[in-house]
C-alpha cells in the first residue's frame, strides 16, 4: 500500500509533467522524479528478477485523478522499470484492456478486446504492467501461475510430454505484421539458456496459429502436452485481488497470467478498464535464446507511429 508520502511524490511528479505540457510518450524517468519511492521501485525490480516475479502497488488515487493524470502517473512509474513497447498494429504504447466487442473465437482477435476468459499466457515483453481503473460488474478475476512450477509439475506428472514443449511450436501474430512479414513464428514453450529458464504460455496464440495458412498442424501428442500444460497452470494458479488503483507487475518469463470471463456494466463510463504497459528491461535483460529475445520486442508495423491515448471508445475502430 502506498504511503501518503509516496502518493505526494507521485502527485508532485504528475503536476510537473502537466505544467510542462508533456505528451505521455515523452515522459522519461528524469522528468518524473520520485526521490524516495524510486528506491521502492528498485526493490520491486529485484523481486521481479530474483524473487517471485510478481509485485503489486496498491493505493493509486484514481478516484480523484483524471484519466490523463492516471496515465501520466502510471507511465512515469513504468519509466523506472523499462522501455515501453508497441502492443498492437496501431502502435499503442499505452494499452487498454477493455471489452470493445471483440469475438475471441476469431483467429485475428486478441483477448483483451473481449470479455471472454483468457488462458494462461505471457506477453511479448519482459514485464507486463496492469493498472486497474475500474472493475467489471461481475467476474474478471485475475490469476497468476509460476511457469517454473508448471514445468516442474509436468516433469513429475507427465515427463513424456515435456519434450513436446521444449521443441518449437507455432505462434500466431494475429495479422499484426508489416506487408511481406511471416504471420507466425516458431518458439518453444519451455526454454533454457545459460542456466536460465524462460517460458511462454500454451494459450490462444499457440492454438490460433492452426488457422493461419501454411502453419504445420500439431500432432495428437503435442495437443495433449498443451492441454496438460493448461490443466496444471490452472491447478497451481492463485487468484489475485485487483481493485481500482492497483498496479500489478509480472515478469513474463517466469509468471503466467490469465483472466476469468466477466459481465460488464451497461454504462460506458462504468465499464471495466485496465491500462497495460509492455516494458523491456534493457539494463537487466534476462539471458535467453536469441529467437526468444527477437520475439518479445512488442508489435511494430512499418509506417505506424507509436503513440499513447488515455482512453478508447467502446467499439472496435
Tens digits of per-residue pLDDT, 151-174?
A: 999 999 999 999 999 999 999 998
Q: State residue 315's pLDDT score.
A: 47
Q: Which regions in the chain score pLDDT beneath 50?
A: 315-317
Q: Give the domains, in start order, of the chain with CATH numbers.
A: 4-294 (3.60.130.10)
Tens digits of per-residue pLDDT, 178-225?
A: 999 999 999 999 999 999 999 999 988 899 999 999 999 999 999 999
Return d(Cα 173, Cα 149) in angstroms, integer: 27
Amino acid at each position: 500500500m502506498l504511503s501518503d508520502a509516496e502518493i505526494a511524490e507521485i502527485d508532485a511528479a504528475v503536476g510537473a509533467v502537466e505544467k510542462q505540457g508533456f505528451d505521455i510518450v515523452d515522459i522519461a524517468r528524469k522528468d518524473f522524479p520520485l526521490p524516495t519511492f524510486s528506491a521502492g521501485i528498485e526493490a520491486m525490480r529485484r523481486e521481479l528478477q530474483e524473487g517471485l516475479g510478481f509485485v503489486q502497488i496498491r493505493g493509486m488515487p484514481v478516484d480523484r485523478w483524471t484519466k490523463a493524470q492516471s496515465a501520466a502517473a502510471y507511465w512515469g512509474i513504468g519509466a523506472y522499470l523499462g522501455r515501453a513497447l508497441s502492443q498492437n498494429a496501431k502502435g499503442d504504447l499505452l494499452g487498454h484492456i477493455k471489452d470493445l466487442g471483440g469475438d475471441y473465437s476469431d483467429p485475428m482477435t486478441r483477448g483483451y478486446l473481449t470479455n471472454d476468459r483468457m488462458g494462461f499466457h505471457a506477453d511479448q515483453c519482459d514485464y507486463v504492467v496492469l493498472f486497474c481503473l475500474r472493475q467489471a460488474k461481475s467476474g474478471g478475476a485475475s490469476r497468476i501461475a509460476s511457469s517454473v512450477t508448471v514445468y516442474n509439475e509436468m516433469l513429475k506428472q507427465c515427463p513424456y510430454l515435456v519434450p513436446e514443449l521444449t521443441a518449437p511450436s507455432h505462434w500466431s501474430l494475429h495479422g499484426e505484421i508489416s506487408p511481406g512479414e511471416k504471420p507466425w513464428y516458431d518458439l518453444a514453450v519451455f526454454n533454457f539458456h545459460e542456466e536460465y529458464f524462460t517460458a511462454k504460455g500454451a494459450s490462444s496464440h499457440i492454438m490460433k496459429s492452426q488457422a493461419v495458412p501454411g502453419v504445420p498442424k500439431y500432432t495428437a501428442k503435442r495437443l495433449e502436452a498443451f492441454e496438460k500444460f493448461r490443466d496444471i497452470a490452472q491447478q497451481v494458479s492463485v487468484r489475485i485481488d485487483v481493485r481500482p488503483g492497483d498496479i500489478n507487475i509480472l515478469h513474463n518469463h517466469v509468471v503466467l497470467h490469465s483472466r476469468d470471463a466477466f459481465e460488464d456494466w451497461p454504462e460506458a463510463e462504468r465499464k471495466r478498464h485496465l491500462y497495460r504497459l509492455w516494458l523491456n528491461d534493457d539494463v537487466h535483460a534476462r539471458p535467453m535464446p536469441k529467437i526468444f529475445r527477437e520475439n518479445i520486442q512488442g508489435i511494430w508495423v512499418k509506417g505506424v507511429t507509436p503513440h499513447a491515448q488515455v482512453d478508447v471508445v467502446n467499439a472496435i475502430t
